Structure 1
Amino acid sequence: MLRLENCRIMNGGFAVEADLEIAPGACVAVIGPSGAGKSTLVEAVAGFLPLARGRISLNGADLSGLQPGKRPIAMLFQDGNLFPHLTVAQNVALGVSANLRLAEADWRRVADALERVGLNGMGARKPAALSGGQQSRVALARVLVQGREVLLLDEPFAALGPALKAEMLDLVAELASESGATVLMVSHDPDDARRIAGQVVLVAEGKAHPPQETAELLDNPPPALKAYLG
């Protein structure tokens, strides 16, 4: 269980309040008006933003004082964060060890992850030789080898076309189901939520609301969300 208890998250002069819990293995979309604090919420869970108040815990263990790298959490960012001078395999291997000193078994994990995301045989290429969709798959493979309990998505597929984005979302849902990972997915597109998220956390007017069933919330949106969706 991922719990945010009486949290106040600061991002510069902006604050988001959160008091909610996410069930293990759930896939939850984080939606709301632009600038409402969706990324602020997931960055606090990842450890990139401090809490002014409250506690974040996973299965009872307090995460609040841990640095991002020490949390059982992986995050996919909007730009993928691939290093152009490294090969595809090396970029994925960073998820195992930052110094790239991997044992043979670890390199097999990297190869298996690339195969799982549909990039078998592409490990020696550089990111510049890949399409945008393939680069997204590399970033996803790097998350896969980390084997973390929680996966945070900050619109990593926003630059992809609709069909390719849908394909990547389906792949994320499939991989999360296989591993049992909990997913929190920031999105501006309600169709993304309907596609793979069973629940939605609405972030609006300075507050992250507890999860609600996706269809229920999107079919009967509150005023703040209705104004955003149009």
Structure 2
Amino acid sequence: MTAIDLNADLGESYGAWTLGDDDAMLAVVSSANVACGFHAGDPATLLRTCHSAVTGSVRIGAQVGYHDLAGFGRRFVDIEPAELTADVIYQMGALHALAQVAGSAITYVKPHGALYNAIVHHREQARAVVRAVTAYDATLPVLGLPGSIFLEEAERAGLRTVTEAFADRAYTPQGTLVPRSEPGAVLSDPEAVAQRVLTMITDGTVRAVDGTTVDVSAESICLHGDSPGAVAMATAVSELLRANDIDITAFV
């Protein structure tokens, strides 16, 4: 049977501000990219999310990002590589402690937002993130965009790399993500998103914004927990995949 990992960005509420329905998403996905406090997530929220992930037998990943709470980690930060390495180590350590208390551990690392997009092309920052992961725990896999400099540097360092595709984000003809500032960058129709994911898995392709077909090779599919109708989209994806005998299981 064909199998695929479904991941979602979770633990992104902060204090009195609630973002998304983590429990509902955890009932669908197999991996949880849990915020680490730098772009979102306060300690109590993160611990609660880790406990919920453990209850649902969902793998916990550290979603590391720029230190940018005000911008939700979606603004590029021109940070020195050594500082970025330290920031990523700090985030992994914090979430790992909370995951351990919940009875689990972090099992992979996925950069968030602007950092994720920057290290598709920004070699210095990509190397900084790779150095952080190898220094902290070189057995941790890393998620990234196929063809990115980040995955290239990670492979060179001996890390396990996991290619990722995005269910609810528009693609450019070059196979990168359309910036959120542009119209149509985020998709919202559950049935269309589900069919798109099925095509990604069965055909290894996705239609770009200009109508061309782009090759995608993914071990994991991301569903954003903060997107409008996130739970409905995740449910539609899950149901369509299972109807086509595609198992949803974590890559680790």
Instruction: Tell whether the structures are fold-level matches, with TM greater than 0.5.
Output: no
Greater per-residue strand proportion: 1
- Report which of the two structures shows the higher radius of gyration computed on alpha carbons: 1
Considering Cα pairs closer than 8 Å and 6+ residues apart, tell me whether 1 or 2 has the greater RCO. 1
